[in-house]
Amino acid sequence: MTSRTTVEQHAARIADLLAPVLSSRPTESVPIDDALGRVAAEDVRSNVDLPLFRNSQMDGFAVRAADIATVPVALEVSGDVPAGHAVPVILTPGTAIRIMTGAPVPSGADTIVPVEETELVLGRDDDLSGAVVEIRASREAGEYVRERGSDLARGEVILHAGTRLAPRHLAALAAAGITDVGVRARVRVGILTTGAELAQNDTAGYGQIFDANGIALASLVTEAGATVSYRGSSDDDPDAFRTVLREAVASSDLVLTSGGISQGAYEVVREVLEPIGAQVTTIAMQPGGPQATAQVDGVPIICFPGNPVSTQVSFTVFVRRLLREAAGLPALEPRTVELASPVRSVPDRRQFLRGLITTEGAVEAVSGSSSHLVAGMARADVLIDIPTDVLHLDGGADVTVWTL
């Protein structure tokens, strides 16, 4: 066997290549309505106290605690404060003011008596003129009063840098009157698929196939929290590939390619990129052996082989974790499960078989190991990771699986 690059070595090379792009994203300001799932670029401090003003936690009556120390006690109803009442109200000592949840507590009042602990003994709910309320329970000063700033004081951090914005974060921002938020710009990924065999429209002629890799990479990129900035395709003509590569590089933070990278003739990606410094390598893995990395105008180019299973496995093994991390998405850590049936592997290569988790929680290989089995891959929900030096595993053995 020729000596091959290991999966770990190639993963480290790609991580190094992408680090400058992924670790320092520019900040962009977006309306909070569009910010779900984005990552806060910086600490956000509140310009206001929350609550904005001292308000009632209950529907009831605002009074002075001193006036209801002995109960029952009848108090004149000197006012009414619905929520949203726009005029400040002052409590005359020895009286009560009807108040709704969320309404500003009148100056002079220091507690709220819930409506359940009161009864109107004169007047009606819908006409409080001359009304009198009987208070049946004492309340301490401060009870059922939400003090201004008791949730968050003006100047405090309401959102920490690096937070992935969930509904509860957006709600807090909205409550503080914040309408726009600075978030990390999504990573812009250009996608190029190559090959003279790719059909250019809805019909595949003799010897042609439909391009499965364009949509595979685009949706993998989207799912990993990045954005697809360019999608293009070329046949095996170097000038055609250079044209789409130039457009992809101009609009992207990084570019993914599929196909054209192995040792045969007509390998357009290798042909164009190797002379300008691409590192073309064979990885000790199956599928996904031929791989390359390059840089064009400072933009990292990650080159995958063109078989559709190879492309998807390569993205999953080498790029997914990095993009998810940049997007603030939780890592999809490989985990250990039991094999439902024996599997075979090949010498000198780490193999990623397509697997399906059974109802018992074990994993079973589905489809064959060949990298063209694109429909077979759709039946899988994990990759089974078979170490390089293992040729055979019995049913019941523990294996590592990667969630797809």
* Strand pairing report for 44-45 and 60-63: unpaired
Between 95 and 316, whose beta carbon lies closer to a copy of itself? 316
Task: Copy the structure tokens of residue 224.
Answer: 């990993």
Minimal distance, residue 58 CB to a copy of itself, in Å: 9
Binding mask 201-220 for a copy of itself (x = CB under 8 A): -xxxxxxxxxxxxxxxxxxx
Task: Copy the structure tokens of residue 195.
Answer: 């090959």
**103 touches a copy of itself (CB under 8 A):** yes
Stretch that binds a copy of itself, among 248-256, 278-286, 357-365, 375-383 (CB under 8 A): 375-383
With the C-alpha atoms ordered 395, 399, 403, 404, is the resulting torsion angle positive or negative? Answer: negative
Q: Give the footprint of a copy of itself on residues 355-374 (CB under 8 A).
A: 367, 370, 372-374
Binding mask 303-332 for a copy of itself (x = CB under 8 A): ---xxx---x--------------------
Between 26 and 264, whose beta carbon lies closer to a copy of itself? 264
Which DSSP string do the residues of 352-364 spell out, in sequence order? EEEEEE-TTS-EE
Minimal distance, residue 170 CB to a copy of itself, in Å: 5
Which DSSP string do the residues of 153-166 spell out, in sequence order? -TTSEEE-TT-B--
Task: Copy the structure tokens of residue 169.
Answer: 């974060």
**176 touches a copy of itself (CB under 8 A):** yes
**59 touches a copy of itself (CB under 8 A):** yes
Look-up: residue for tokens 């002995």? 70
* CB proximity list for 89: less than 8 A, separation 6 or greater: 79, 81, 97, 104, 106, 107
Task: Copy the structure tokens of residue 196.
Answer: 């003279």
Q: Give the footprint of a copy of itself on residues 18-37 (CB under 8 A).
A: 32-33, 36-37
**380 touches a copy of itself (CB under 8 A):** yes
Three-class SS state of 380? coil
Binding mask 226-255 for a copy of itself (x = CB under 8 A): ---------xx-------------------
| Rounded (10°) CA dihedral 48, 53, 54, 57 | -100
Number of Cα atoms under 13 Å in the Cβ half of residue 122: 9
**166 touches a copy of itself (CB under 8 A):** yes
Judged by CB under 8 A, the number of residues near a copy of itself is: 93
Interface with a copy of itself (CB under 8 A), residue from 79, 104, 288, 355: 104
